[in-house]
Amino acid sequence: MENKGLSKVDLIFEKVDPKEVLIKAFKMTSDEIIKQMLDSGLKGRGGAGFPTGLKWKYTAAEKEPVKYIVCNADEGEPGTFKDREILDKVSYKVYGGMAIAGKAIGARNGIVYLRGEYRFLLPQLMKELESFHKMISEIGYDFKINYCLGSGAYICGEESALFESVEGGRGEPRNKPPYPTTSGVFGKPTSINNVETLVTTMMIIKHGAAKFTELGTKDSRGSKVFSVSGDTPTPGIFELELGMTVQQFVNEFGDGDTKAVQVGGASGFCVPRKKFQNTIIGFEGVPTGGSMKLFNSSRSMYNVLHNYLDFFAEESCGQCTPCRVGCQQLLKGVEKVKKGEAKSTYLNELIKLADTMKIASKCGLGQSVGNAFRTIVENFREEIIY
Amino acid sequence: MYQVGNLVKELSEKHGRTRESLMPILQGIVEKHNYLTDEAMVEVARELDISAADVYGTASFYTFLDTSVRGKYVIRICKTITCSMKGKAEIIQTLEDMLKIKIGETTSDRQFSLIETNCIGWCHKAPAILINEIPYTELTPEKVVEIIKGYMQKK
Amino acid sequence: MINLNINNQRVSVQQGTTVLEAARKLNIKIPTLCNHSDLCVAGNCRVCVVEQTGARTLIAACAMPVSEGMDIHTNTLKVRNARKHIVELLLSEHRSDCTKCYKNQKCELQALANEFAFGDTIFLDLVEDHQYTIDRSSPSFIKDDSKCIHCQRCVRTCTQLQQISAIAVANKGAHQKISSFHDRPMSHVVCTNCGQCVNRCPTGALVEKTYIDQVWDAIYDPEKHVVVQTAPAVRVALGEDLGYDPGERVTGKMVTALRQLGFDSVLDTDFTADLTIMEEGTELLTRLKKILVDGNKELSLPMFTSCSPGWIKFIEHKYPEFLSNLSTCKSPQQMFGALAKTYYAQKRKIDPAKIVSVSVMPCTAKKYEADRPEMRASGYKDIDFVLTTRELAVMIKQAGLDFKNLESSNYDSIMGDSTGAAVIFGATGGVMEAALRTAYEIITGREVPFKNLNITPVRGMEGVKEATVKIEGCTDDWKFLEGAELKVAIAHGLVNANKLMREVREGKSPYHFVEIMACPGGCIGGGGQPIPTSMEIRKNRMKAIYSEDEHMVLRKSHENPDVIAIYKEFLGKPNSHVSHELLHTHYTERDNF
């Protein structure tokens, strides 16, 4: 097991001269930029971890004259708040990343989809965008970014649901294929990337792919911004090199009594104390969009599970059967078991249901409800039953 | 009841009359008038030449596009686990006592509405609330009292 | 061509074909629910999930396009378990009072439950957690949310085929539902009562409002004289609910069945269809004269037909500024109703108060139409009860009739005569064809210049059809039309009506006369016709309609002897004062939401 230990990194929030990086990028060909991304091994920072270079490559290969680069700033995963901080502190790097992506895929238009909960940031972000547009026209490059504002729907973080929302509809995920790289927003080839991913691409251009691959492990290159909350003396936002174990993370952030860490938010995995040592935070272990919630022994994992299930039952878009009804059944099911109105063995039926949801739901939301469910029920069964 | 026709026209001029203008128009109405009345949704449907049921269907998908009465200041209390762990219950108690309404209700003077909402992205500074778009974090009952007093004086 | 394997059988299909379609080619059945051949793919019920070798998740066969080398398995343990779960989940949200349900044994969810979910229930009952509404406000149909499985066929129908979107998906998550504008009652929204959603609902969530018991009560009431009329499209579809293949004509057996059910007089809506041609044809020619010769500025063209009550409500809601372009003629059903309690009552010497007038229609909107306050020209409710084709089939079954072995018989006299022109009212383009057959002959004294009177350009399933008829050799009364080119258009399905109406609104419509039917295919595809429906089924019904026409001795409305008689004895001439009182109506502007 490759283990890098815990070390803090300053890449995402590092001050750079955006003009310099962009001029460098615009001198490169599309293929050269994409090659840098592929070489860097960068995987998407929103949680799903699709290789960014591949996404750009596929979108670049499309023949359509109009393409889009979309920045996914619909950070709704419970426990994640790093994109807000990135936008607040270094939005120019987000815009820069979008311009670089635009150059790579052949898009002249960018859209930032900002979650409604972050509307208070909008005036500042628009001002910074104005400066960015000015700078980019000084360079003599044609690229324009627009903002779309969400209105409180977790599912809009799912890429195709986000497109539906941008197009003025209900944020309901689409059938795939076609994938966004072929038919995304407004039916055009689209590369949709997370806020942090875009910033990282700019830093890869600045420092070069080789430098980036020095950080992290084979499966999880680079560093990542973590949102740390829960039972910790030091909650906040931390950029860390990828490849540490949960134990190393807990040693740094725990309160000395950590019994579980929920990695990746409500749609992520619960790691119990006995597995801290052997679990790597990264794509080879537990992947995360950055949400790290620590729970100490005073917490009821039933409450945690119930909170997540309640969240999913509300935030499912409701269109597909496994997710709409499955979430309600899981929620009501654990309530019954907790109250002693259903046998503890009913949890086994619910785990099977969670497995069905994982393979039969239409999108990532329904497919990932089972992650927290299974890992909490399996590891803290005694806390769930009556 | 408010005169919404002109606002809808104004917003349609600004954002356009294609389908993708629907969200910004609805957001614009909520920003001005706190929630979407039936009249407003019918007006939007007319302006964009889409069905009113469709406008309602879209609005009702989004938590912030309320279609029932909301006060001038909508207080959304984050109900995700970290805020619960860090004292959400006392915050709600304080708000309910102060405003004399329960979660889901609006004060009779239509100044405040109290709603629970999903994660608003301030877990490291829990408990947190939004009042309209403004976040307030690391709340204590005392802090909440001061904040709400401030809003009460605003009216 | 794309090659793939399904259950180890090789199949080659066109690119763009779905896995479901490819499987059907191999006669491999994959269960579906949200899928419907008339509608766009939704992929939301997930009942059709199958296993693709190498894929992380199961795939929805209805939504997945084939790709080269795909290896699909439709019946693995993984697939079966998932399917069972999915059906069980749907059942847990569904009020399963199957034995009392109108859709019992005709419900697609029930059929799936029978295959996948018998035995012990796995999941908790969620029905009581949901505050389901049952909306009975419309006289045409009932919307019962407790039976809804969220497949969205109704929403897609209302949006895609009818372009009304009276219903839409609202809310999300556990609260997601199919809703009218802000949950208003269906009677108070833009709904046209066309019933196309009813035709496509897989469960009992959308069903017609039935009047079967009321009709039985009337039949068994010795004081009452119960007359029944049957619309043209019923006779080519009724058989489907009674064991025949689509497209079988069962006119004679249907008449016998109605008589055996106990109706006192079995009459034909065809009679008033022919009458409609006389009234509407005259109205059109008069309108043309007023505009073209007299320079009347208040009237305008095109003139629209008014037989389809779904279309009428559509224009009242969506294009009220063009209500004056509508023919003032009532629909054949309502003309019949008004005459049954006046002309028929007089001729048969029956007190109209004792007449109960029943109609059998391919339509749900007709139930609403019969309830309109305008429809009381006889001094009574002109039509008391409207039954759909489906309801008639239920009554025939209730009575235990051996339908297939019934002898054929003919309609009763007085208002029972028919022509081929009336029969074709049941298909899109039929009213136009019937009108042209008569109008051309009135103007020129000669038959329409089409072989065998078959005006083929106005026939068929194309959404919008148009035709031009050059008028030559006019009689003296109609000289002003000499050399004119009469331009006509036909639309069926409200999405196509909308297309034509936009043109009209933009002032770009070149037509003189336009026929519009609310339902795809016209009345043969009506909301009251047997379920299921598909393009193929509708085409078969349409073929049967034209075959019925060809087999008629009389094929022009003005030759209907009952029609000739009623003008002589009762109405005087078309558009007479009496006609106007009984056979014509007016329209009401309605809200567009």
Question: Do B47 and B113 lie in a common domain?
Answer: no
Question: Do A201 and A310 lie in a common domain?
Answer: no
Residue numbers of the domain that contains A137: 18-213
Q: Are B98 and B145 in contact (CB under 8 A)?
A: yes
Q: Which residues of B touch A307 (CB under 8 A)?
A: 79-81, 84
What does the pLDDT read at residue C197? 98
Percent of chain A with pLDDT over 70: 99
Cα–Cα distance for residue pair B54/C172, rounded to 1 Å: 14
User: Is C506 a catalytic site residue?
Assistant: no
Test B130 with A117 for CB contact under 8 angstroms.
Answer: yes
Of the candidates C51, C283, C548, C559, the residue annotated as catalytic is: C283
Q: Are A42 and A212 in contact (CB under 8 A)?
A: yes
* Mean per-residue pLDDT pooled into runs of 10, chain C (593 residues): 98 97 98 98 98 97 98 97 97 96 97 92 94 97 98 98 98 98 98 98 98 98 98 98 97 98 98 97 95 92 97 98 98 98 97 98 98 97 98 98 98 93 97 97 94 96 96 92 95 98 96 98 98 98 97 96 96 97 98 94
Stated as kind and residue range, the H or E segment containing C207 is strand C206-208
Three-state secondary structure readout of C258-327: HHHHCCCEEEEHHHHHHHHHHHHHHHHHHHHHHHHCCCCCCCCCCEECCCCHHHHHHHHHHCHHHHHHEC
Cα–Cα distance for residue pair A223/A47, rounded to 1 Å: 14
What does the pLDDT read at residue C35? 98
Going from the C-alpha of C528 to that of each of A368, B24, C106, C392, the distances in angstroms are: 43, 41, 15, 10
Residues facing residue C492 across a β-bridge: C517
CATH architecture of C212-271+333-405: 3-Layer(aba) Sandwich (3.40)
3-state SS assignment for residue C489: strand
Q: Of the candidates A197, A213, A229, which is a domain's last residue?
A: A213
Rounded to the nearest 5 degrees, what angle is found at the Cα of A264, between the Cα atoms of A262 and A267? 95
How far is C167 from chain A, CA to nearest CA, in Å? Answer: 14
Percent of chain A with pLDDT over 90: 97
CATH number (domain holding residue A43): 3.40.50.11540
Give span(s): CATH 3.10.20.740, chain C.
2-75
User: Is C48 a catalytic site residue?
Assistant: no
3-state SS assignment for residue A365: helix
How far is A168 from chain B, CA to nearest CA, in Å? Answer: 4
What does the pLDDT read at residue C117? 87
The owner of tokens 């399963």 is C96
Selection from C277, C586, C512, C241 nearest residue C418 by Cα: C277
Question: Do B49 and B82 lie in a common domain?
Answer: no
Give span(s): CATH 3.30.70.20, chain C.
91-208
Which chains lie within 8 Å of chain A at 3 or more CB pairs, if any? B, C
Half-sphere exposure at residue C139, Cβ-oriented, CA atoms within 13 angstroms: 14
Cα–Cα distance for residue pair C235/C361, rounded to 1 Å: 10
Tokens of A325: 């009804």
Question: Do B42 and B97 lie in a common domain?
Answer: no
3-state SS assignment for residue A245: strand
DSSP C424-480: GGGSTTHHHHHHHHHHHHHHHSS--SSGGG--GGG-SS-SEEEEEEE--S--GGGGG
Cis status of the peptide bond prior to A51, with omega within 30 of 0: no
Evaluate if residue A1 carries a pLDDT over 70: no
Would you call B154 exposed, middle or buried from its count of C-beta atoms within 10 A (0-12, 13-18, 19+)?
Answer: exposed
Question: Do A173 and A309 lie in a common domain?
Answer: no
Amino acid, single-letter form, for residue C189: V
Q: Which residues of A touch C (CB under 8 A)?
A: 153, 155, 170, 172, 175, 177, 312-322, 324-329, 332-333, 336, 342, 349, 352-353, 356, 358-362, 367
Q: Are C412 and C267 in contact (CB under 8 A)?
A: yes
Cα–Cα distance for residue pair C380/A243, rounded to 1 Å: 84
Dmax of chain C from CA atoms? 81
Of C56, C85, C172, the CB nearest to A317: C172
Cα–Cα distance for residue pair C103/A61, rounded to 1 Å: 51
Q: Are C471 and C292 in contact (CB under 8 A)?
A: no
Stated as kind and residue range, the H or E segment containing C486 is strand C485-492
Question: Do B95 and B123 lie in a common domain?
Answer: yes
Nearest residue of chain A to residue B128 (CA atoms): A117
Test C170 with B60 for CB contact under 8 angstroms.
Answer: yes
What does the pLDDT read at residue C413? 86
Tokens of C399: 């009575």
At C15-34, the pLDDT tens digits run: 999 999 999 999 999 999 99
Of the candidates C88, C374, C466, C503, the residue annotated as catalytic is: C374
Q: Which residues contact C368 (CB under 8 A, 6 or more apart)?
A: C138, C139, C140, C193, C309, C313
| ipTM of the shown complex | 0.97
Residue among B19, B51, B64, B67 with most chain C CBs within 10 A, to mutate: B51
Instruction: Tell me phi and psi for residue A32, to 5 degrees.
Output: -65, -40
Cα–Cα distance for residue pair C344/C570, rounded to 1 Å: 10
What does the pLDDT read at residue B1? 47
Give span(s): CATH 3.40.50.1780, chain C.
212-271+333-405
Q: Of the candidates A198, A213, A228, which is a domain's last residue?
A: A213
DSSP C18-85: BHHHHHHHTT-----SS--TTS-----S-TTEEEETT-SS-EETTTPBP-TT-EEESS-HHHHHHHHH
How far is B56 from chain C, CA to nearest CA, in Å? Answer: 6
Three-state secondary structure readout of A258-308: EEEEEECHHHCEEEEHHHCCCCEECCCCECCCCEEEEEECCCCHHHHHHHH
- What average pLDDT does the structure give for chain C? 97
Evaluate if residue A4 carries a pLDDT over 90: no
In a domain, A131, yes or no: yes
At A144-159, the pLDDT tens digits run: 999 999 999 999 999 9
Q: Which residues contact C10 (CB under 8 A, 6 or more apart)?
A: C3, C4
Fold classification of C91-208 (topology level): Alpha-Beta Plaits (3.30.70)
The owner of tokens 């802000």 is C182
Residue numbers of the domain that contains B109: 73-154
At A46-80, the pLDDT tens digits run: 988 999 999 999 999 999 999 999 999 999 999 99
Fold classification of C2-75 (topology level): Ubiquitin-like (UB roll) (3.10.20)
Question: Do B106 and B137 lie in a common domain?
Answer: yes
What does the pLDDT read at residue C552? 95
Cα–Cα distance for residue pair C558/B97, rounded to 1 Å: 81
Q: What is the pTM of this model?
A: 0.97
Test C170 with B54 for CB contact under 8 angstroms.
Answer: no
In a domain, A197, yes or no: yes
**Number of structural domains chain A divides into:** 2
3-state SS assignment for residue C222: coil
CATH number (domain holding residue B91): 3.40.30.10
Rounded to the nearest 5 degrees, what angle is found at the Cα of C174, between the Cα atoms of C171 and C176? 30
Average pLDDT over residues A246-269: 97
Nearest residue of chain B to residue C184 (CA atoms): B53
In a domain, B66, yes or no: no
Question: Do A309 and A197 lie in a common domain?
Answer: no
In a domain, B44, yes or no: yes
Going from the C-alpha of C134 to that of each of B89, C25, C95, C390, the distances in angstroms are: 37, 40, 12, 21
Tokens of A24: 């460098």
In a domain, A205, yes or no: yes
Q: What share of chain B is helix, strand, coil (3-state, %, to 5)?
A: 50, 10, 35
Cα-Cα-Cα-Cα dihedral sign, residues C152, C155, C157, C159: negative
User: Is C466 a catalytic site residue?
Assistant: no
> What CA dihedral angle connects C463, C464, C469 and C475, to 10 degrees?
90
Q: Are A333 and A342 in contact (CB under 8 A)?
A: yes
What does the pLDDT read at residue A383? 97
Q: Of the candidates A196, A213, A230, which is a domain's last residue?
A: A213
In a domain, A288, yes or no: no
At C233-249, the pLDDT tens digits run: 999 999 999 999 999 99
Half-sphere exposure at residue C514, Cβ-oriented, CA atoms within 13 angstroms: 26
Rounded to the nearest 5 degrees, what angle is found at the Cα of C544, between the Cα atoms of C542 and C549? 100
User: Is C280 a catalytic site residue?
Assistant: yes
Q: Are C318 and C590 in contact (CB under 8 A)?
A: no
**Chain C touched by B139 (CB under 8 Å):** no
What does the pLDDT read at residue A47? 84
Test A332 with C89 for CB contact under 8 angstroms.
Answer: no
Q: Which residues of A touch C2 (CB under 8 A)?
A: none
Nearest residue of chain B to residue C186 (CA atoms): B53
3-state SS assignment for residue B3: coil
The owner of tokens 């499309």 is A62
* Mean per-residue pLDDT pooled into runs of 10, chain B (155 residues): 83 97 98 96 97 98 97 97 97 98 97 97 98 98 98 88
Residues facing residue C225 across a β-bridge: C355
Question: Do A72 and A175 lie in a common domain?
Answer: yes
Amino acid, single-letter form, for residue A114: L
Cα–Cα distance for residue pair C479/C443, rounded to 1 Å: 8
Residue among A226, A229, A316 with most chain B CBs within 10 A, to mutate: A229
B residues 22..81 contacting C (CB < 8 A): 38, 41-42, 45-46, 50-58, 60-61, 67
The owner of tokens 């068929």 is C460
How far is A265 from chain C, CA to nearest CA, in Å? Answer: 19
Q: Which residues contact B142 (CB under 8 A, 6 or more apart)?
A: none
Q: Which residues contact C75 (CB under 8 A, 6 or more apart)?
A: C7
How far is B46 from chain A, CA to nearest CA, in Å? Answer: 15
Question: Do B83 and B149 lie in a common domain?
Answer: yes
Half-sphere exposure at residue A43, Cβ-oriented, CA atoms within 13 angstroms: 18
The owner of tokens 């750009």 is A56
Question: Do B11 and B53 lie in a common domain?
Answer: yes
3-state SS assignment for residue A23: helix
